[in-house]
Structure 1
Amino acid sequence: MSMPTPPALETTAVGQSVATTDLSVWSLFIHADWVVQFVMILLLMASGWCWTIIFAKLMRLRSLQSSAERFEESFWSGGSLDSLYDRVGSRPNDPLSAIFAAAMREWRRTTTKGKATTRELRETLHHRIERVMNVTLNREMEQLERHLNFLASVGSTAPFIGLFGTVWGIMHSFQGIAQMQSTNLAVVAPGIAEALFATAIGLVAAIPAVLAYNKISSELGRYGNRLEAFASEFSAIMSRQLEEAE
């Protein structure tokens, strides 16, 4: 009559079986169900695009801050605004110069034709200049804020997409357990690990996206305030010049 295997020996055998199971990242991906694989690939692609947006936005913001400092130094140096406009050109590369160029272009278009001859016409010119600067400011900020919604979307949905992959993977794992009619840990562990790996990828995609969105939005908000402050100051300068022309 055969003797039953002691529980200690069974536990040791299960542990050795789990230890020999390949639970590397590549193995978890290869052996996962095709739906879970699709979720993983989707999350990895979203994460890669998020990092591309993050680096591009941070580099752009750093460049814009440097350009704004150089332009403001030239603007407040006391030189001629016409000379500065000639140097900046009609199509500047940064938003601050674009606001200045738009206002100067409208100024020159009217004053060179001698239209601002009465008080009413000068007030109309001042309103047009303010409107042109506001339109330019809004357009430039819209360009800077492009793709930020993608970061917000990934940050809010990636964990749930990963969770969907996890739920699907666990269901697939339970089906495998039912077919093999075994609850051995060596049978359960790979399927559960593959399922949980999808959630991990979702968090890896979501966390940097949320942090970057908050950081970049804050930086863009401060830069937008800088543009609005310059537009207000330049509008006041134009108003004084129009009053002196009376």
Structure 2
Amino acid sequence: MNELSLLELFAQATLIVKIVVVILIIASIITWLIIVERYLHFQEAENFNNEFETLFWNTKDVDKLFKSTSSKDQSEIVGIERIFYYSYKENLKLKDLKIDAKTKSENISRSIRIAISKEEGIHTKHLQYLANVGSVSPYIGLFGTVIGIVNAFQGLSDATQATINAVAPGISEALIATALGLFAAIPAVLAFNKFTVSTEAQIKSLSVFGEELVSIFSYSK
């Protein structure tokens, strides 16, 4: 079936089926835009975290590194650098207080959990949309399918003879709606699963680094 015939089918479809098709196409386009954006986001996050972690372990002056981080705008402090910033800032606040290592560790851990929570929010951005498209699109397509089948039977009842031409438009509408529903849903579900795993991996990496910082800063003088 060529492109022109698809356009002709769309032009001849009922209003409800047209609305279903437009909704699914828009949902699919937005899904692919999100997929590209999230893929680039996780690639950038992983590269940045690796670079900063290497910088941290190789630095000989943690105070200087903290001052460099502090000079940035708050919105620019992300990823593993945010974990370092929150934990070291808390460490400096508690430095002159006469508290035991356990209390200091708990306070620093609390700051790190806040930082990780903010990072999780950044990583899960748009994932709810992918989940919604993945779960709802097949049903929207199914609705279009039902309307198409109803139109096919209507065409058959109006025809003087039972021919393929009488039911073809309705059946075509039904198949197109089904296909678009799956086309929108499958990439959304796969992307949601992929980015959920990526988020969990990022959070685990941040948590491990945070635990190392707690061990270091809790007993620092």
TM-score, normalised via structure 2 length: 0.91
Q: Deviations over 1:85-137 (max 9, x none)?
A: 112226243221111111122222333xx3x2x244x5433321110110110
Letter in 2 for 1:200: A
Letter in 2 for 1:109: K
Does structure 1 residue 49 correspond to structure 2 residue 33? no
Equivalence map 1:1-246=2 (5 Å): 24-89=5-70, 91=74, 92-111=76-95, 114=96, 116=97, 118-120=98-100, 123-241=102-220, 245=221
Q: Deviations over 1:163-188 (max 9, x none)?
A: 11011111022112222333211221
**1:183 partner SS:** coil
Q: Which runs of 5+ in 1 are unaligned?
A: 1-18
CA distance in 1, matches of 2:64, 2:36: 35
CA distance in 2, matches of 1:88, 1:110: 19
How far the C-alpha of 1:23 sits from its partner, in A, is 7.5
Letter in 2 for 1:142: G
How far the C-alpha of 1:191 sits from its partner, in A, is 1.8
Letter in 2 for 1:140: E
Contact 1:88 1:101 (8 Å CA) reproduced: yes
TM-score, normalised via structure 1 length: 0.82
How far the C-alpha of 1:220 sits from its partner, in A, is 1.4
**1:165 partner SS:** helix
Identical-residue share of aligned pairs (%)? 34
**1:181 partner SS:** coil
User: Number of residues paired by the alignment?
Assistant: 217
Contact 2:152 2:168 (8 Å CA) reproduced: no
CA distance in 1, matches of 2:45, 2:185: 27
Contact 2:144 2:173 (8 Å CA) reproduced: no
Larger radius of gyration: 1
Contact 2:31 2:130 (8 Å CA) reproduced: yes
Contact 1:168 1:195 (8 Å CA) reproduced: yes
CA distance in 1, matches of 2:161, 2:92: 84
Letter in 1 for 2:85: A
For the aligned residue pairs, the C-alpha RMSD in angstroms reads 1.9
Letter in 2 for 1:49: I
Q: Which runs of 5+ in 2 are unaligned?
A: none
**2:161 partner SS:** coil
CA distance in 2, matches of 1:93, 1:52: 25
Contact 1:23 1:190 (8 Å CA) reproduced: no
